[in-house]
């Protein structure tokens, strides 16, 4: 019996040590001075953490934002060794997409230099937004756009494409949306000829991509058929907001809205809304739509973290989704008694997606968003309260979010007497894609005995709720509401 046990032990030891050797070897970063990179890859996750080793257990060294490019040197077991600026480390290769080499539209360069000297004429833009492409075809990237009635110099006509230069903007536009400049002509006595209808001629080619907004005949008032009731007006909060045909960044652009433009919003779903503004109608990302909460009203979203199929963290007999909902409901009561309008993302054990939670605030025309969570760490000694905000987006939103986080965090650590872990920037989805001033509060650690015993008690839940409520009042006072 002992012999057998010894034998089994020996085998276990063997495997353990082999395992360790294998792991250590794979964790060794490749010598990037000696090997060629596999190529450039684009990040597909909102924020992708760069870690010290090839596993989520390793310390994060920073993160790369969506659509940024990184150099990949090695991919092993779904982990890629990358460089990004001066940062080197591992990222999950699931969120990387290889950059495929595109043929360079050399024709543009040639034309830019050879044709720049002599314009062959002038035309007027006859579309709300006319996209300028890098080359004479739909496959080329758009490099900018021209607004309606803009006069541009033309240099070359290639089939249905015209090479134009407008200041620094150079490239090809679809001929269909350029009209000739009318010269003042002596008044003729003959009856005016009927205008040729643009639709009369069958097009030899399919409509060029991207299609300007006026490519299809539209009624004078924007149609909202199938887009439900209006949620009222919102204001564009980014210098240029792309309006698209579908609810995705891959959707065909149908127009651009400038900062400060008022839009009427319909049909909010998954971070996208159908909006109309003048003749432009289509989908925009709601993270660039500023609320128009009336000055005499305060509308706040209280988001109880997790719920339903997603319990969140659990420790010391507590489950995060239960604690967050319970505290959120206490906060709700206090706010309502102070005349503040509260919108809850959930009121029971359900799981709204992160986008649903953001949509809730957008639809309600809320001004503020507070998400309540509990922390967890593998080491039971980790403890304390921290509050997150997102530093991106419009400057006023980032500043307001930071202030809100500071007020709530200060009130909380004083009231429930936890370690102050501070106010931190983070890329959590509910705060980084949110158009509202938004924060995420981590009340304390469920994995820590002292923190958990407080979060288990009704007394401390009340105290915590009151602290969050007071932090919110501090914030409203700060922004002059």
CB of 421 to Zn ion, least distance (A): 15
Q: Between 145 and 445, whose beta carbon lies closer to Zn ion?
A: 445
CB of 425 to Zn ion, least distance (A): 17
Helices 458-478, 320-337: crossing angle, 10 deg rounding: 50
* Minimum gap (Å) between residue 310 Cβ and Zn ion: 9
Q: Show contacts with Zn ion in window 397-436 (CB under 5 A).
A: none
Stretch that binds Zn ion, among 70-78, 177-185, 265-273, 301-309 (CB under 5 A): 301-309
Q: What is the 3-state secondary structure (H, E, C) of 210-246?
A: CCCHHHCCCCCCCCCCCCCCEEEEEEECCCEEEEECC
Q: How far is the CB of 371 from Zn ion (least distance, A)?
A: 8
Residues 210 and 235: beta-carbon distance below 8 Å: no
Q: What are phi and psi of 416, to 5 degrees?
A: -100, 0
The nearer residue to Zn ion, 373 or 461, going by C-beta atoms, is 373
Structure tokens at 220: 């004078």
Which of these, 371, 413, 376, lies nearest to 388 by C-alpha position?
371
* Least spacing, CB of residue 386 vs Zn ion, in Å: 12
**Element housing 329 (H / E):** helix 320-337
- Rank residues 170 and 330 by Cβ distance to Zn ion and give the closer one: 330
Give the footprint of Zn ion on residues 371-390 (CB under 5 A): 373
Taking the complex as a whole, the smallest distance from the CB of residue 104 to Zn ion amounts, in Å, to: 47
Q: Which stretch binds Zn ion (CB under 5 A): 128-136, 273-281, 286-294, 308-316?
A: 308-316
Nearer to Zn ion, 236 or 354 (CB): 354
Interface segment toward Zn ion; rule CB under 5 A; list 138-146, 212-220, 234-242, 365-373: 365-373
For Zn ion, the closer CB: 224 or 319: 319
For Zn ion, the closer of residues 236 and 430 by Cβ is 430
| Of residues 164 and 446, the one with the C-beta less far from Zn ion | 446
Shortest Cβ 420–Zn ion spacing (Å): 19
**Nearest distance, CB of residue 350 and Zn ion, angstroms:** 16
Nearest to 155 by CA among 185, 112, 197: 112
What's the chain's Rg over C-alpha atoms?
Answer: 29
According to the binding rule CB under 5 A, does residue 305 interact with Zn ion? Answer: yes
Count of residues binding Zn ion (CB under 5 A)?
Answer: 3
CB of 480 to Zn ion, least distance (A): 32
Question: Which residue, 210 or 315, is less far from Zn ion as judged by CB?
Answer: 315
The interface region with Zn ion, picked from 46-54, 192-200, 307-315, 427-435 by CB under 5 A, is 307-315
Q: Which is nearer to Zn ion, 222 or 305 (CB)?
A: 305
**Are 103 and 174 a contacting pair, CB within 8 Å?**
no
Shortest Cβ contact with Zn ion: which residue? 373
Return the number of the residue (312 or 471) whose C-beta is nearest Zn ion.
312
Q: Is residue 377 within 8 Å of 445, Cβ to Cβ? A: yes
Least distance CB 323 / Zn ion (angstroms): 10
Pattern 24-43, binding to Zn ion, x per CB under 5 A?
--------------------
Q: Which of 208, 271, 282, 312 binds Zn ion (CB under 5 A)?
A: 312
Say how far apart CA 320 and CA 32 lie, in whole Å.
43
User: What token pair was written down for 297?
Assistant: 């009203």
Query: Least Å distance between CB 341 and Zn ion?
Result: 25
Nearer to Zn ion, 305 or 384 (CB): 305
Q: Cα 37 to chain center, whole Å?
A: 29
Query: What's the CA gap between 12 and 26, in Å, rounded?
Result: 21
Token representation of residue 391: 């530093």
Q: Which stretch binds Zn ion (CB under 5 A): 36-44, 149-157, 367-375, 464-472?
A: 367-375
Q: Residue 361, interface with Zn ion (CB under 5 A)?
A: no
Residue 376: phi, psi to the nearest 5? -155, 145
Residues that bind Zn ion (CB under 5 A): 305, 312, 373
């Amino acid at each position: 019996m002992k012999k057998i046990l010894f034998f089994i032990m020996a085998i276990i030891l063997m495997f353990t040590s082999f395992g360790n050797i294998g792991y250590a070897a794979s964790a060794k970063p490749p010598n990037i001075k000696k090997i060629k990179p596999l190529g450039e890859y684009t990040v597909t996750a909102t924020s992708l953490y760069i870690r010290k080793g090839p596993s989520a257990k390793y310390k994060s060294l920073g993160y790369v934002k969506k659509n940024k490019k990184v150099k990949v040197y090695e991919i092993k077991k779904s982990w890629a060794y990358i460089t990004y600026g001066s940062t080197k480390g591992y990222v999950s290769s699931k969120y990387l997409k290889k950059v495929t080499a595109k043929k360079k539209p050399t024709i543009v360069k040639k034309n830019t230099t050879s044709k720049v000297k002599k314009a062959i004429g002038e035309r007027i833009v006859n579309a709300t937004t006319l996209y300028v492409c890098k080359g004479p075809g739909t496959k080329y990237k758009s490099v900018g756009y021209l607004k309606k009635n803009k006069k541009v110099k033309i240099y070359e006509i290639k089939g249905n494409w015209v090479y134009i230069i407008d200041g620094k903007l150079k490239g090809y536009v679809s001929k269909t949306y350029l009209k000739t400049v009318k010269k003042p002509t002596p008044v003729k006595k003959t009856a005016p000829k009927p205008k040729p209808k643009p639709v009369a001629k069958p097009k030899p080619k399919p409509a060029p991509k991207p299609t300007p907004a006026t490519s299809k005949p539209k009624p004078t008032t924007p149609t909202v058929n199938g887009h439900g009731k209006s949620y009222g007006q919102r204001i564009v909060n980014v210098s240029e907001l792309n309006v698209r045909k579908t609810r995705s960044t891959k959707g065909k652009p149908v127009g651009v809205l400038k900062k400060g433009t008022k839009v009427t919003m319909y049909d909010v779903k998954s971070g996208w809304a159908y909006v109309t503004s003048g003749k432009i109608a289509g989908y925009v990302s709601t993270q660039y739509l500023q609320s128009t909460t009336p000055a005499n009203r305060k509308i706040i979203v209280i988001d109880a973290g997790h719920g339903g199929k997603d319990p969140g963290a659990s420790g010391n007999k507590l489950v995060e989704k239960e604690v967050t909902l319970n505290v959120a409901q206490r906060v709700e009561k206090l706010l309502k008694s102070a005349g503040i309008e509260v919108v809850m993302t959930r009121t029971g054990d359900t799981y709204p997606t992160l986008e649903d939670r953001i949509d809730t605030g957008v639809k309600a025309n809320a001004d503020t968003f507070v998400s309540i969570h509990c922390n967890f760490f593998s080491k039971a000694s980790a403890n304390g309260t921290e509050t997150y905000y997102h530093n991106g987006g419009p400057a006023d939103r980032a500043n307001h979010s930071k202030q809100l986080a500071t007020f709530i965090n200060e009130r909380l650590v004083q009231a429930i007497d936890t370690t102050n872990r501070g106010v931190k920037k983070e890329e959590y989805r509910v705060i980084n894609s949110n158009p509202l001033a938004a924060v995420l509060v981590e009340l304390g650690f469920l994995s820590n005995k002292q923190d958990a015993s407080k979060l288990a008690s009704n007394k401390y839940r009340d105290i915590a709720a009151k602290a969050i409520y007071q932090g919110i009042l501090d914030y409203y006072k700060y922004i002059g509401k």
